[in-house]
Amino acid sequence: MIEVKNLTFSYGKDKQALHGLNFTVGDGEIFGFLGPNGSGKSTTQKILTGILKGNGGKVSLFGQDIATAHTQDFFQKIGVLFEFPYLYANLSAIDNLKYFSSFYPAEQLRDIGEVLEELEFKTDFLKKPVSSYSKGMRQRVSMARALINNPKLLFLDEPTSGLDPTGAVLFRKIIEEERRKGTTIFLTTHNMLDADLLCDRVAFITNGNIVALDTPKRLKEQNSSHRIVTTYLYQGRREEKTIEIPELEAGIPFPHDEIISIHSEEPTLEDMFIQYTGRGLS
């Protein structure tokens, strides 16, 4: 679905933002693109969506070189959720979506009401101007805009930004549903929980270079301490013991009356990002 070969980009003579990126995204895959501010992830997404020109290397979407694919049909297969909502503040959710729907063939469109209902948008705000919406409500309209044309390729930039925990769970459910439909999703985010729960693979980018690319599970397993922390009761006292995983093969190697919990000391995805890049995701 996406193929990137030796992608470079410079904002000026001494401001090279991308240093020869190489990666592919398969059909129906959720691909996470993670990096701190200024790492090059937004530049990459702008190139992939055709917003930013003048890059070096080659970028192909749907098997077509994006440098020469300027047809309306090509871009009608793409949906984009920007980090900052691009909506007309004086128009309502309904009118915004009617306007954006006008760029696509009628047979390709989803029903506006059904999409907003799926996103649990408050019905009493449907005809009120966007300027009166909370950040979370604007995010719902922006997601509806990205989905309205039934895209085959969906770019999501910080999709759960501004949402409360319930809204974030809903968005993750909707993203998973898009994947089940066969939609390919390119996800840029600072939210490690989103990346860990949703992504088939993630790429870590820093200073314009990809420094790691694998599944979240393998990245964590490769750097695991292979130890577990066991909390248990013995003779009326609560105890905690750390043991090596191989020690469990013959059973729990210490006296106990009741096991309360067992947790691996597996690192988090954010731990892995910091290890590979030396920088946090802020």
pLDDT for position 279: 63
pTM assigned to the model: 0.86
Task: Give CA–CA dist 26/43, Å, rounded.
Answer: 21
pLDDT for position 280: 56
Task: Give CA–CA dist 74/127, Å, rounded.
Answer: 32
pLDDT for position 130: 95
pLDDT for position 242: 85
Mean pLDDT of the chain: 90
Higher pLDDT, 227 or 24: 24
Average pLDDT over residues 137-141: 95
SS3 labels along the chain: CEEEEEEEEECCCCCEEEEEEEEEECCCCEEEEECCCCCCHHHHHHHHCCCCCCCEEEEEECCEECCCCCCHHHHCCEEEECCCCCCCCCCEHHHHHHHHHCCCCHHHCCCHHHHHHHCCCCHHHCCCEHHHCCHHHHHHHHHHHHHCCCCCEEEEECCCCCCCHHHHHHHHHHHHHHHHCCCEEEEECCCHHHHHHHCCEEEEEECCEEEEEECHHHHHHHCCCCEEEEEEEECCEEEEEEEEHHHHHHCCCCCCCEEEEEEECCCCHHHHHHHHHCCCCC
User: Which of 16-25, 217-226, 271-280 has the highest mean predicted lDDT (pLDDT)?
Assistant: 16-25
pLDDT beyond 90 at 274 = no
Position 15 confidence tier, pLDDT thresholds 50, 70, 90 = confident
* Of the options 3.90.1300.10, 3.90.245.10, 3.40.50.300, 3.40.50.1820, the CATH number for the domain spanning 2-212: 3.40.50.300
CATH 3.40.50.300 domain position(s) in the chain: 2-212
pLDDT for position 281: 52
